[in-house]
Amino acid sequence: MAKIKVEHLAFPVPICIVGAMVEGRINYATYGSFGLLAPRPKLHVYIGSQGSRYTNVGIRENGYFSVNIPPVDLIQKTDYVGIVSGRKIDKSAVFKSFFGSVDKAPMIEECRVNMVCRLVNTVDLPDRDVFFGEVLETYVDEECTDNGLLDYKKIDPLMYTLNGTGNASYRRLGDVVGDAYREGKALIKS
C-alpha cells in the first residue's frame, strides 16, 4: 500500500460544547479539540480553541468550565454556538442550562453527558489556548447507562473530523469492533 503526504489530519473526536460564565452571563461555544487525560485517580480533560474565543475569557476569569457532549440530534445548535460569537450574540437561551455545585460552570440539559471542571493549567500556543481541567462532577442521562456503565450508542455523541484538505465534518460513532487490552493477548507467546 502506497503512502501519500497530506497537510492536515485529525482523527474523529467527540465534539464538545464548553460552558462558562463570561462577564456575569452564561456562554457556550463549540470546541473541536477535546480529550480525556489520566482517568485515575482523578479524571482530567483538555480543551483547545482559538485564543480569541469569548468563552476563553470566562474560563480564565473564573477558573471553571463545563464540558458538554452533544448528541447527533443537536447538530444545528452545536454548530451554531461554534460559529457565532458570544461577544455579539447572547447564546444563553440556545439551551436549557443547569448548574452543579459550581455556579461558574453552566451545563446543558439537552446534552447527555456533562462535566464540571476546575482549570488546573493553561498552555498558550501561537493561535490557540489549551485548557486542562480536573473533572469535579460528571452527570449522565440515566437512560444512557446500562447496569451503571455508559452506553455510547444511547449517548450518540456528535463526532468531529478534519480531512486532509482542511474540510471539517460531523460524523456518528460506529460499532464496537473489539475489547481493549484483550485483542492483543492472542499474540502473546507463552
Domains of the chain, first to last: 10-175 (2.30.110.10)
Buried b (16+ CB within 10 A) or exposed e, 80-117: ebbeeebeeeebbebbebeebebebbbbbebbbbbbbb
What's the pLDDT tens digit per position in 125-150?
A: 888 888 999 999 999 999 999 988 89
pTM: 0.91
DSSP SS3 for 154 = helix
CA dihedral 8, 161, 63, 96 (to 10 degrees): 160
pLDDT, residue 34, reads: 84
Q: Where do runs of H (alpha helix) occur along the chain?
A: 54-62, 75-83, 152-155
pLDDT at 117 (0 to 100): 95
Least confident range from 67-81, 88-102, 149-163: namely 149-163
pLDDT for the residue 5 = 74
Q: Quick one: which of 86, 105, 109 has its CA closest to 96? A: 109
Report residue 164's pLDDT band, with 50, 70 and 90 as the boundaries: low
At residue 48, the pLDDT reads: 80
Which comes out higher in pLDDT, residue 168 or 88?
88
Reading phi first (left if > 0) and then psi (alpha if -120 to 50, else beta), residue 23 is in left
Q: Which amino acid is at 164?
A: G
Cβ-Cβ contacts under 8 Å for 2 (sequence gap 6 or more): none
Percentage, residues of the chain above pLDDT 70: 95
Greater confidence, 68 or 161? 68
Report which of 17, 26, 188 is spatially closest to residue 91, judged by C-alpha positions.
26
Of 33 and 140, more confident: 140
Position 108 scores a pLDDT of 98
Task: Say yes or no to pLDDT of 114 above 70.
Answer: yes
**How big, in percent rounded to 5, are the helix, strand and coil portions of the chain?**
15, 45, 40
